[in-house]
Structure 1
Amino acid sequence: METRKATEIISLLSDGVNPYTGEVFPEDSPYQHPDTVRALLLAMKGLERIEKYEKRQGALPANAGKAWNEEEEGLLAEAYDKGQSIIELTEAHGRTKASIKARLVKLGKIEA
């Protein structure tokens, strides 16, 4: 199930509404109990955080957060020495600008 869909269902339940029929739950329903409503609202906050995280992860380059290996470091250093820009290097390696710069610092190609 997608996080967005789960959030919609939890939101309706916390509002006291059956997410499948649109009917309002009776007052004696467990979904109308204050503790249940509080728990559902807490669950919604958690799902919203997950959704935000998923959105951010989707926007990151393919190799963001992955470990560097010697071969990739060598290719990076060689491309930098040939004059490729940081932007070109981010695209070629699927990494963020911060990651490229940090690796170039580690390789002694630029200063921190």
Structure 2
Amino acid sequence: MEIKKAIDIITLLSEGIDPQTGEIISAYTTFQDPHTVRALFLALEALEKLDKSDKRQKRLPENAGKGWDEQEEALLVDAFDNGKNINELAELHKRTNGSIKARLIKVGKIK
């Protein structure tokens, strides 16, 4: 199940609405119990955070968060020494600008 669909279902349940029929859920069911409603709101909050995290992760470059090996680091240093700027290096290595800056600091190329 997609996160968006789960969010929609839990939202309806927490509002006292049957997600299948759209009808108001009877006041005498577990779904109307205050503890259940609070649990649904907590689940909804967690799913919304997960959805936000997933969307952010999909926007990151392919190599974001991956470790650097010696060969890639050498290529970075060489490209930097040959005049490539941070944006160009980030695109070339499929990493974030912050990652490129951090690596260049680590190898002593920038402060």
Provide TM-score, normalisation by structure 1.
Answer: 0.95
Structure 2 residue identity aligned to 1:32 = Q
Structure 2 residue identity aligned to 1:84 = K
Tell me how far 1:107 sits from its aligned partner.
Answer: 1.2
User: 1: CA distance between counterparts of 2:103 and 2:18?
Assistant: 52
Alignment of 1:87-102 (within 5 A): 87-102=87-102
Is 1:21 the counterpart of 2:21 in the alignment? yes
Structure 1 residue identity aligned to 2:28 = D
Q: How many residues align?
A: 111
Q: Runs (4+) of structure 1 moved beyond 4 Å?
A: none
Identity, in percent, stands at 55
RMSD after superposition: 0.8
User: 2: CA distance between counterparts of 1:101 and 1:73?
Assistant: 12
Provide structure 1 residue ranges, at least 5 long, that are not aligned to the other structure.
none
Find the residue that maps to 2:27 and give its secondary structure.
coil
Tell me how far 1:31 sits from its aligned partner.
Answer: 0.6
Residue in structure 2 matched with residue 59 of structure 1 by the alignment = 59
Tell me how far 1:74 sits from its aligned partner.
Answer: 0.7
Residue in structure 2 matched with residue 83 of structure 1 by the alignment = 83
User: 2: CA distance between counterparts of 1:79 and 1:97?
Assistant: 15
Alignment of 1:67-78 (within 5 A): 67-78=67-78
Structure 2 residue identity aligned to 1:2 = E
Provide TM-score, normalisation by structure 2.
Answer: 0.96
